[in-house]
Amino acid sequence: MLLFLVLAFHQLSFAQSIYHQEGALIRSDTLKKEIYLCFTGHDYFEGFEQVLEVLSKHNIQGSFFLTGDFIRNHQSLTQKIDQQGHFVGAHSDKHLLYCDWNRRDSLLHSEAEIKQDILDNLNELNALKIYPDYFMPPYEWYNKQVVKIARELGQITVNFSPGTRSNADYTTPDMPNYLDSEKILKSIYDREDQSGLQGFHLLIHPGTSPLRKDKLYHHLDDLIQELKNRGYSFRRF
C-alpha cells in the first residue's frame, strides 16, 4: 500500500510539469491557474519600459531572459528589471543559433563554444550580482546536447509553451509567417477556451524590428486584464 501511494505521488508530481522531448521545461504546474509571462531581449529594446510599467500596474513579476550583448548595452535597464523583483536569466551571450533548424540533432557550434557562450552570458549577470538558474536558449531552439551543456552550468533550460502564437510577435509584414497582434491574441484566447493555460509560459518580445509597427507588447495591459478576468494569476521563475 505504501509503495502504491509513493508511486501515485510521483506520477502526480510528474504530471504537474511538462518537458519537451529535447529536455526543456515547456510548461509548469498544470494543476494551477498560473501563467509565466516570459520576455527575451537581444538587439531591440524599445518596449521594455512600457512592459515594466504594465507589470508594475498589475503587481506582476515576469521572467526576463537577456543576452550578454543586451546586458552590456543596457546595464542600468537590466539592473532595474532585477531590482523590481523580476526574474532575470540567461539567453546566450551572442544569440547564436546552436543547432540546425532542419536537422535539430546537428550542432552548428562545438559543445565548448556553446558552453562558453552561455558562461559568458552568466558572467555578465553575475557581475551585476544576479545569479539565475533558468536559461532560455537563443531563438528558443535547442536539442538534448544544449540542455546537457546548460545543466552542467547549473541551468535549467526552459522554453515557451506550444499551443499559442505569442512568440510570433517578432515577425514582420515581409515574412511569409507574419502574424498581427489580433491573430496572436486570438490564438491565446482560443487555446484558453479549448483547454486552459494552466502553467503556460507565454513568450513576448519587448523589442522587435522597426519593420513591425504592430507591437504585441502594446496589448499587454489588456491581455493581462483579460486573463485575470478568466481567473489566472501570474508567477515568475
pLDDT digits (tens, 9 = 90+) for 196-206: 999 999 999 99
pLDDT digits (tens, 9 = 90+) for 126-162: 999 999 999 999 999 999 999 999 999 999 999 999 9
Q: Over the Cα atoms of the chain, what is R_g? A: 18
pLDDT digits (tens, 9 = 90+) for 64-97: 999 999 999 999 999 999 999 999 999 999 999 9
* Per-state percent for the chain, helix, strand, coil, to nearest 5: 45, 15, 40
Domains: count for the chain: 1
What is the extent of the structural domain holding 100? 24-235
Residue 13 placed within a domain: no
Sort 131 into a burial class: Cβ within 10 Å, 0-12 / 13-18 / 19+: exposed
Residue 17 placed within a domain: no
Q: What is the CATH number of the domain that holds 105?
A: 3.20.20.370
Entry pTM: 0.92
Q: DSSP labels for 150-197?
A: HHHTT-EEB-PPBTB-GGGGG--TTSTT---HHHHHHHHHHHHHHH--
Residue 5 placed within a domain: no
Residue 52 placed within a domain: yes
Residue 78 placed within a domain: yes
Residue 18 placed within a domain: no
Q: How far apart are CA 31 and CA 43, in angstroms?
A: 36
